[in-house]
Structure 1
Amino acid sequence: MPAATPPGPPTGPRDPGDAWAYGPDGTKAWGRFGAAGLLVDDGAGRVLLQHRVEWSHHGGTWGIPGGARHQGEDAVAAALRESAEEAGVPEDGIALRHAAVLDLGFWTYTTVVGRAREPFEPVIADRESLALSWVPVAEVDDLPLHPGFGASWAALRASIATVPHVVVDAANVVGSVPDGWWRDRAGAADRLLSAVTALAAVGTDADGLGLPFARWWPRWTVVLEGAARAAGVGTDPGRAGGVATGAAVEVVRAAGSGDDAVVAATRAAVAAGDAPVVVVTADRELRARVEALGAEVRGPGWFRDRTASVGA
């Protein structure tokens, strides 16, 4: 793997976030506004780790690319920026999985977990790395780990391959609100697709999926039937406002029964190993059919509560 001997700590202008945060007992942690890092796996049982340069905090240990958040910067954006700056990780090449937050009260560290969409070789792009390496998951514990990463590794490892999947019965969700949707079924479905895309971009709370950590980015499948099948034609559900979100949203346009298409999408998700598979519907018969496949069911209200939180 690439290696280098850094000439020393960086100098020059810093962001206001590049400073120590101090707790009431004098404990200090790097990042005035908190910090974030990226744990990325390659889909082949390896994770990207950074051998930290000696002059850094806990120098000489292995951890994940990351660093201080900039003022006003979202933790996920910070993790992607830092990993790009330190290891050449392509910012648009990561499928987000989940985020875990360590909260000390005066300071937070967010570990963002994702999978590389395509293979890439890391590059030492700044002075903070002695080496970067794709390490087999089974060999991570053999390394001298950064204390923070070492403390969280067991829990992160247990969920690294977890992929939740949400299947939306669009007809049932749209029909649950008497807002005149029947006058323009395709338009109502378009609004639903926009809401799903917005939610898929920012992720959803872990509690709503029955999963650990703070936030997850599930795969999404939206099933359209009847006149609603015209929704989203010529648009990219992986884009919001013309901006690529990286969101995993698939649109299924049912040729016949929408319920049958929901069941087929659920069966495919379960067969692919996605878990949990959550179907959004209030239809009792459909609920029984998908639960028989091993899926969980949430009502339209569950979906509306989450899209409302992102203003969709």
Structure 2
Amino acid sequence: MTLEQPAAGEPRRPLGPRDPGDAWVVAPTGERYWGAFGAAGLLALDPGRGVLLQHRVSWSHFGGTWALPGGARHQGESAVDGAMREAAEEAGVPAGAVRPRLVSVLDLDIWTYTTVVADVTNPFDPVISDPESVELAWVPVADVTDLPLHPGFASSWVRLRELLTVRPVIVVDAANVVGSVPDGWWRDRAGAAARLIDGLGALAARGIAGDVLRLPESRWYPEIVVVLEGQAGAAASVDVPDGVRIVVAPAADDDEIVAQAAAHAEGGHAVTVVTSDRELSARSVSAGASVHGAGWLRDLLDAR
């Protein structure tokens, strides 16, 4: 591959058209940050191997240090898409191999860096697929600080490491949420449940603001557990969107919702139960969950 000769500290790029995002942002005090539209990186977490880190080539910015695969965002590109693209270009991360869990944004007013923390759902071996890496490695979480880290990553790692144990889960009382809107659900309970599941899939894909979930950082992508009962159980046969799991209650759906909340809370998850039923709300709180009413979820589903 023929490469441009970079200026001091500038990432080397292939000859040919460049995206407008491939440029420096210069602060009034002289500091330079790569990415006219900000930059983004992927923190991929494999439960058995640790986090994926990149040993940066010597001619790159802070060369010789270890950091996340990442780089400048393209014009009009979301931070998540930018992080995934850069991870594919620099580390061969396959499409569909990871699922975002949270987004953390460092905002310096003139420039932003977004870290996308994602769980590995399909294990893979990284591949050096461009000249910006000396080495790629899965590093156990406990060993990350033993490496010479890029200063920016070293600063953020202190906070991000604590968040790796936070796994939000939303348990949805489907009957209660479906019944909160007079859209004819009583004529087709399974169809109404399927519409709810479809909407929850879209919500799982776009994520939820951290403050809405009472969690730190910019955005989270919780697992969504939908509990169905009775005739609505037929909706379990639909194609289930990524990030959504369907549970068909064997009997009273309230008992199943409480059981799901308790199991996830005992597993260390941050659990939110969605229901407007007062008795179920009290039982869910006793099981270790926080509770929001059906209107809270409806507002999220309606938001774009």
**Structure-1-length-normalised TM-score:** 0.90
Deviation at 1:100, TM superposition (A): 0.1
Counterpart residue type for residue 254 of structure 2: D
- Partners of 1:301 and 1:182 in 2: CA distance: 19
User: Among residues 221, 244, 249, which one is paired with 1:254 in the alignment?
Assistant: 249
Given candidates 30, 33, 37, the residue that maps to 2:37 is 33
Q: Mark the runs of 5 or more structure 1 residues left unpaired by the alignment.
A: 1-5, 239-246
Look up the match of 2:300.
306
Q: Counterpart amino acid of 2:282?
A: A
Q: What secondary structure is seen at the aligned counterpart in 2 of 1:231?
A: helix
Percent of residue pairs bearing the same amino acid type: 57
- Give, in angstroms, the shift of residue 289 of structure 1: 1.3
Whether the aligned pair in 1 keeps the contact of 2:4 and 2:15 (CA below 8 Å) is: no
Contact 1:165-1:219 at 8 Å conserved across structures: yes
Cα-to-partner distance string for 1:221-264 (whole Å, 9 max, x where unaligned): 0011122222252x3212xxxxxxxx321111223211122122
- DSSP 3-state at the match of 1:162: coil
Residue 231 of structure 1 corresponds to which residue in structure 2? Answer: 235
* Conserved? CA contact 1:164–1:274, under 8 Å: no
**Matched-pair contact (CA < 8 Å) for 2:4–2:14:** no
1:209 maps to a residue whose letter is L
The CA RMSD measured in Å over matched residues stands at 1.8
C-alpha distance in structure 2 between counterparts of 1:109 and 1:28, whole Å: 13
Unaligned 5+ segments in structure 2 are 6-11
Q: What does residue 207 of structure 1 align with?
A: 211
- Give the total of aligned pairs: 295
The runs of at least 4 aligned residues of structure 1 exceeding 6 Å deviation read none
Alpha-carbon displacement from aligned partner over 1:40-94 (angstroms, at most 9, x marks no partner)? 1110261111111111111111100000111111110110111111011122010
Letter of the 2:246 partner, please give it: V
Q: 2:273 aligns with which of 265, 270, 279?
A: 279
Counterpart-to-counterpart distance in 2, 1:49 and 1:185: 48
Amino acid at match of 2:240: P
Aligned position for 1:244: none
CA distance in 2, matches of 1:197, 1:265: 19
Query: What's the TM-score, normalizing by structure 2?
Result: 0.92
Select which of 156, 167, 187 maps to 1:152. Answer: 156
1:267 aligns with 2:257: no
What is the CA-CA distance between 1:23 and the residue it aligns to? 3.5
CA distance in 1, matches of 2:281, 2:195: 24
Distance 2:113 2:240 in 1: 31
What's the CA shift for 1:150? 0.7
> Contact 1:172–1:283 at 8 Å: present in 2 too?
yes
Aligned pair partner of 1:288 in 264, 276, 282: 282
